[in-house]
Structure 1
């Protein structure tokens, strides 16, 4: 949740408290009058049902490459830029092809494109190359050499790609700069060239920064589920950042045997996994109708969605095994009857952006329920 959303949330809750007439004074008893507080105006309420889970799981996650992306790849042409080194061969004219001798590489003796976008070539002088394709440079050389050589046969290639780069940073095996070459460079190619993302990387949300704008891409959907709509053809100057998964966690509170913070991991956990890894529900004090998942919203008028699972019937735990958790979720198992959920949500809403610190507020919630 963003800082602005959190601020809006606190203001709304403060207003609610004032309207409800809560009084705070040293040594006084807190007068809870939140039974009628307008919490419904702040959150959307969704019971966890088979229908809800079926709607989430509709469709095939594997998305093939689109026609537009395929056309973009097929139309790709490298354009020469300053810093590139060109290898030029004029057949039957070795004095033009490799004047430095055969012991030196093409990158060493080739024609470097200067900062003004041109390079020098014998007989014809300066040749403009910046922004041109290899075929266009070859045609220009052939046309101008024809004044000195009968029917010149010219071949041009790039011996060193130096002008166009993309930048990879963050949780990858080897952060580096990658050159853009005559072969199209996609996001998958770039990640593969640095040895894939680290185990501690957040595969669900990597960032592509291009021309001052940021795109959020799921490397997990691309690599794990074959969603090719997540792939991109990289362009010069792109910055690809793979963030850490340190903040990919959920907070578990209330009547569980081991409340605290649980890292999600890239494979994600279900609600059942979270409850199990928290030591299970404390059956002595928990209310079976009151398992809440509070999920904050960054957009819209509502501040959060509250998902509620009733496990009065143990078979309902099968729904928990199909409910996928998201980062920053708060799971709360209450002792309060479901009719008192307004009070529970009033206390929990400010915590949905603080999964690393909610464990410290557990005692307060328990005090409220006692």
Structure 2
């Protein structure tokens, strides 16, 4: 059966090439049919053809689960998260029972305005503690340094230290979110999902399947659909300074339905996915009189090109009623091509319908010439 399917794919491809010479007026100069035939057959030897049946549906589901497991990262841990101070952060410092070391609150001023900003050299200056290195330290580490400094002039100082302006570290959310934002990294752990929510969530035109996550000039694909639909927390990330989250549009999330269907065209894959049955339904279904129900193909390019296989071709035998159930379970992927072939008799009828007007036109010209000769 698979051997027959591969021959059918070869025949369909060659029909397109040979059609240039079969149909009058459509010959393309410079095309060597025999050379194209040889090249095409060589390329198709690297194509994997499968029949869409229950076994294939189960196999694809298992491979998807295996892929998800292989791509899993260690779940993020926020219990031991500790904010690291940086240049530009603003600190509020106070010492109990020593009002002279505490800036009093003012109605017209904010804590950030009156605070101690970490300077460009990474230090702060406080009473009895000049040019104290602060950048790169946690609050607890800086607290210990200041207590040690103040202990030289104050007995057992009780120091209150906190960040009132998180200015040194930011993460960026761009693309198809409702409010593209620059989000500060603060003492409260910020995750990728948190950032998307703070940016207002995904827009209507957003790709709900994946987002691009860039850190240190390296970009990876985060499958947020696995997080939302399967609870895969490994797809989340704890954000750091400079991280970029970019949400793509759905423009590239399309499949193309071609061939003998009511209305060929492209269909966008929404956040809920798209099955083969839905795609065929959205284009009006197969042409009942001319389409080959056993010639429904899905062409899918392989990204990894493993074992020299450049593409997978899946064939659906739609004459079987059960096939529609399988088609509903067969999930399409972005850039898939669904092609419905024409029944052999219909192809012949179309060829004849194209030849007849040409023959009639030639006969008319011949008749006119003959009449002209008579007169």
TM bracket, shorter-chain basis: 0.7 to 0.9
- Residue 209 of structure 2 aligns with which residue? 204
Structure 2 CA distance for aligned equivalents of residues 322 and 129 of structure 1:
58
- Residue 46 of structure 1 aligns with which residue? 50
1:69 to 75, 81, 84: 75
Higher helix share: 2
Are 1:309 and 2:316 matched, yes or no? yes
- Residue 329 of structure 2 aligns with which residue? 322
Structure 2 CA distance for aligned equivalents of residues 258 and 23 of structure 1:
24
Structure 2: unaligned runs, 5 residues or longer? 1-9, 355-375
Q: Residue deviations 1:321-348, cap 9 Å, x none?
A: 10011111111110156xx9xxxxxxxx
- Residue 9 of structure 1 aligns with which residue? none
- Residue 285 of structure 1 aligns with which residue? 290
Quote how far apart the aligned CAs of 1:237 are.
Answer: 0.6
Q: 1:61 to 1:74 in 2, by over 3 A?
A: farther
**TM-score for the superposition, normalised by structure 2:** 0.78
- Residue 365 of structure 2 aligns with which residue? none
Are 1:114 and 2:122 matched, yes or no? no
1:61–1:227 Cα contact (<8 Å) kept = no
Structure 2 CA distance for aligned equivalents of residues 168 and 309 of structure 1:
42
Matches within 5 A, 1:1-370: 34=37, 37-58=41-62, 68-70=74-76, 72-99=77-104, 101=106, 104-300=109-305, 301-336=308-343
Q: In structure 2, the residue corresponding to 1:83 is in which secondary structure? A: coil
Q: 1:151 to 1:103 in 2, by over 3 A?
A: farther
Q: In structure 1, the residue corresponding to 2:300 is in which secondary structure? A: strand
Quote how far apart the aligned CAs of 1:208 are.
Answer: 0.6
Structure 2 CA distance for aligned equivalents of residues 62 and 39 of structure 1:
30
Structure 1 CA distance for aligned equivalents of residues 320 and 20 of structure 2:
40
Q: Which has the larger radius of gyration?
A: 2
Structure 1: unaligned runs, 5 residues or longer? 1-12, 341-362
- Displacement over 6 Å in runs of 4+: 20-24, 60-63
Q: In structure 2, the residue corresponding to 1:108 is in which secondary structure? A: helix
1:62–1:226 Cα contact (<8 Å) kept = no
Q: Residue deviations 1:191-246, cap 9 Å, x none?
A: 11111111210121210111111010122221233121211111111011001111
Q: In structure 2, the residue corresponding to 1:289 is in which secondary structure? A: strand
2:73–2:234 Cα contact (<8 Å) kept = no
Structure 1 CA distance for aligned equivalents of residues 334 and 288 of structure 2:
27
CA RMSD of aligned residues (A): 3.2
Segment drifting more, 287-296 vs 217-226: 217-226
Structure 1 CA distance for aligned equivalents of residues 183 and 279 of structure 2:
40
Structure 1 CA distance for aligned equivalents of residues 245 and 176 of structure 2:
11
- The aligned length equals 323
1:118–1:126 Cα contact (<8 Å) kept = yes
Quote how far apart the aligned CAs of 1:23 are.
Answer: 9.8
**TM-score for the superposition, normalised by structure 1:** 0.79
Q: In structure 2, the residue corresponding to 1:130 is in which secondary structure? A: coil
